[in-house]
A and B are shown apart, each in its own frame.
Chain A
Amino acid sequence: MTTFGFLATNGNSQVLISSKTKNLHFLGKATLYSTLQSHEGRGGIRRWAYRIDSTGTPVPFFSVPTADRYAIVRMTKVTGITWEIEVIRSGTSGSVPEVYVFTEITGQHRPTGAWGMQVLNEIDSTPAYDSRLKPLVVRGGTNVTPPYDPMTSLPTGLSPRYCSTNADGLFVPNNYSSTVVYNTNVTKPIVCYQSVAQTMRQVDVNESSERCWGFKVFGNCVGFEGKKSWDSHYWTFFRAGVSAEQSGPHSYINTGWISVDYGCRNEEKESDSFIGIGYDDDSSAAGNWPFSNLTINLTSVSLIVSDGVLYD
């Protein structure tokens, strides 16, 4: 154990700066690279890719310009030092979030003044903190979990025939859980939250008809009989996301779901018989779908709130 170094704590004895650790500093805002997905139904779906050059591993925060739910779903190094960060959002607003990127101090960080306070790491003497480099100021944090079900009611009125119902208004993720992060006192909340939980909801609707061209004796058809069935499987896939709204000194967080993929599969079967003698084949199916009506990775995920105006 070292007997020298630097340690600054707050009133709750939480570490603010330490020569034993490395602090995150603002690198810059990632640039909007492309819109990967846009859909107006199912609560609204937006997916964007942002890019930034960073020699360190980026820690992204996003702004929340609307009351919709947001999340980071992917972060990959695409080439050299270029990182791509994917952000999803519910809702249909044209507003696009800003992505603020923080890393440990690297050669990319440029001091904004000639004086300030610098703390060196006591192991390798690299800068651990530099007041001239816009260090990350954490204004609050909590753990959040979405509710198990993404919707508070079941989709209804779905047609079994040929997926002919537009289910955009029926699979709308409206269920969420609420958390308050007290005394954040931020002007422009920016949030670090990675989507971990996933869920899928499916409604299977079937219609089958037996038609007898003739007459029935004790329930049996004498004459031509036709059986026909239609199946449609409507589904939507969701990822967890958060909204963050500032009211007075507190940040109000709702954790819910964002639609990210959807579709429908349909089947049609027909069989005929004459005086009870079938002359068309039946079919059968069994087993489970690989991932159906299931919520996975439903664990507490940490959420950090900072203030975007410190870095604008």
Chain B
Amino acid sequence: MIKPYTIISTRQEVSGTGVDFSVTVRTMVDEPGFKDVKLSTSKSFIFVPEGEDIDNYLHNCLLNSGWIAQ
């Protein structure tokens, strides 16, 4: 499975893990006269409570927040 996000770094916090991540969307625009490659990258942070799987938690959070589509 190709993950639609990249975990940049993690750090241990009280009762959980802090996760810095990024999501990149690549768009090709092909119009007469030029080709356009557009990259949109968003970076932010979430806190994953202790006992939660980091990938599942982040994926669900991104889905629920609309950062990525189903």
Contacts and interface: CB of A to CB of B under 8 A. Distances in A.
Interface of A: 148-149, 153-158, 160, 201-214, 216, 292-295, 298
Contacts of B37: 209-210
B56 interface: no
B15 A293 contact: no
B4 interface: no
Shortest beta-carbon contacts, A-B, top 9: A293-B45, A154-B65, A204-B43, A148-B47, A206-B41, A203-B44, A149-B47, A156-B66, A153-B65
B40 A160 contact: yes
B14 A203 contact: no
Interface in B33-70: 33-47, 61-62, 64-67
Given A202-B45, A205-B41, A213-B33, 16 more contacts: A148-B16, A149-B46, A153-B61, A153-B64, A155-B44, A202-B44, A203-B43, A204-B42, A205-B42, A206-B41, A207-B38, A208-B38, A209-B38, A210-B37, A293-B44, A295-B47
B36 A211 contact: yes
Contacts of A213: 33-34
A301 B43 CA distance: 32
**Among A160, A201, A210, residue most surrounded by chain B Cβ atoms (within 10 Å):** A210
A306 to B, nearest CB: 30
Determine chain B's interface SS by DSSP, over half rule. strand
A294 B14 CA distance: 12
Given A149-B47, A153-B65, A156-B66, A203 B42 contact: yes
A204 B44 contact: yes
A95 B7 CA distance: 44
A158 B66 CA distance: 12
Given A156-B66, A209-B36, A213-B33, A148 B14 contact: yes
> Which of A148, A154, A202, A212 gathers the greatest number of chain B CB atoms within 10 Å?
A154
Contacts of B64: 153
B33 A154 contact: no
Nearest to A153: B65
A156 B65 contact: yes
Contacts of A214: 34
B18 A293 contact: yes
B20 A157 contact: no
A49 B6 CA distance: 45
15 contacts: A148-B18, A149-B47, A155-B44, A156-B65, A157-B66, A158-B42, A203-B42, A203-B43, A204-B42, A206-B42, A208-B38, A212-B34, A213-B34, A295-B13, A295-B47
